[in-house]
Structure 1
């Protein structure tokens, strides 16, 4: 499986960020004339793909989903990118759209798209300062926008952590469950990729359950060496094992406010984006930080 094409797109192979990421990726990235290419074995032969090609596959899929829903052909598209993307990354994203057979009308910033989706530009009298808190599967972005009458959007500050998201919370839970399995059965399932993969799937499901319930049950038949693994995890325990990561989301919020030269009181709206913002503890921390503001 290939993922994280967004971290590669529009960058050079020797970019320090790519060099740091290489250590974590389970797939092979090679240097092709100074640019990164993904190398995979498909049906017994080695194939190489540019990040734009991978992104175009995702966009092609999105195009198909949109067409199935609308019942008509889709040609024109507006594609969103992180606010901190540079010109090269934006151009490469546009190229991916073209490869996918789309007519890319424009590239806009993700936080701007979020504010538009919530209609925050409607019926404006004067200016509004909006904080977008975007915590996804693998990345965390905080942006502060000022929206002016006539739908003028200005990105005032961006901050975040390119390596923080739902996957990190899953990792903590997987480590906890693997440890519990070892304690109970004196066996280390971490040596078995398939068992680990099944445990991760169950952990992710449990994490989602804990956003609406205070307890989740994990049941995996024949997880490792024929052993069935049944256990429970409480929301409190899940919050405890991720406490530092959850609390850490407030640092980029503070940094964005500082960079925008604003204080908490000058933020009119807080918009939550990304699946990980459904975690009650994260909402609670953010609400407390903004002295009980509505999210």
Structure 2
């Protein structure tokens, strides 16, 4: 994205719709299903309620691990009356997701290639999406851009909504001074065929 005189021009767009927070949760869920099986000789994987409760706890633990080096999981009567109390370290979480975390750089490289830009030409790296709070993802990104500081001034959960709100204001003909001089030039994110 280049921004000049109120003109926002999308140079390229890339992403992996099959890679995100849920995938990181799944790795943790599978890790704890295996741990429960080891400790209690019982497989909870076919019990939807137990897996759902475990998933909720894993999502919470993942968020905790963005600000702490360890997270506890405490679920009363998870399966057949058995309480499940355990913990996971940030290092273990990173280990479980190492390949997925590395994979987050693929769309970054593709976006740069498509825009015909070198990473040294990037002025600002803005984090978008809740998973960009994960310290390992931030480190991989910062290392990829040769140690450049990441721009954390925008809430990553709200960044897309801000852009959508501005675009909605422009498209609806809003004349307020906040948006009157803005123009968005976008690219087509997927291939487009035109039949004649």
State the TM bucket, normalised to the shorter chain.
Answer: 0.7 to 0.9
**Corresponding residue SS for 2:15:** strand
Greater relative contact order (Cα < 8 A, sep 6+): 2
How far 1:162 moved relative to its partner? 1.0
Query: Which digits, 9 at most, give the CA deviation of each residue in 1:233-259, with x for residues without a partner?
Result: 000000000000000011111111111
TM-score, with length taken from structure 1: 0.50
Runs (4 or more) in structure 1 with deviation over 4 Å come to none
How far 1:161 moved relative to its partner? 0.5
Q: Which runs of 5+ in 1 are unaligned?
A: 1-144
1:184 is aligned to: 39
**Corresponding residue SS for 1:158:** coil
Residue 266 (str. 1) matches residue 132 (str. 2)? no
Work out the CA distance in 2 between the residues paired with 1:220 and 1:210: 18
Residue 199 (str. 1) matches residue 54 (str. 2)? yes
Work out the CA distance in 1 between the residues paired with 2:104 and 2:61: 22
Query: Which digits, 9 at most, give the CA deviation of each residue in 1:48-106, with x for residues without a partner?
Result: xxxxxxxxxxxxxxxxxxxxxxxxxxxxxxxxxxxxxxxxxxxxxxxxxxxxxxxxxxx
Work out the CA distance in 2 between the residues paired with 1:202 and 1:269: 34
Q: Which runs of 5+ in 2 are unaligned?
A: 151-196
1:237 is aligned to: 92
TM-score, with length taken from structure 2: 0.76
Query: Which digits, 9 at most, give the CA deviation of each residue in 1:244-294, with x for residues without a partner?
Result: 000001111111111100101100111001111100000000000001111
Query: Which digits, 9 at most, give the CA deviation of each residue in 1:28-50, with x for residues without a partner?
Result: xxxxxxxxxxxxxxxxxxxxxxx
How far 1:164 moved relative to its partner? 1.0
**Corresponding residue SS for 1:153:** strand
**Corresponding residue SS for 2:125:** strand
1:292 is aligned to: 147
Q: Please, what is the CA RMSD of the aligned residues? A: 0.6
How far 1:146 moved relative to its partner? 1.1
How far 1:186 moved relative to its partner? 0.4
Query: Which digits, 9 at most, give the CA deviation of each residue in 1:148-167, with x for residues without a partner?
Result: 12x10111101110111100
Residue 212 (str. 1) matches residue 67 (str. 2)? yes
Residue 147 (str. 1) matches residue 3 (str. 2)? yes
Query: Which digits, 9 at most, give the CA deviation of each residue in 1:145-198, with x for residues without a partner?
Result: 11112x101111011101111001000000000000001000000111000000
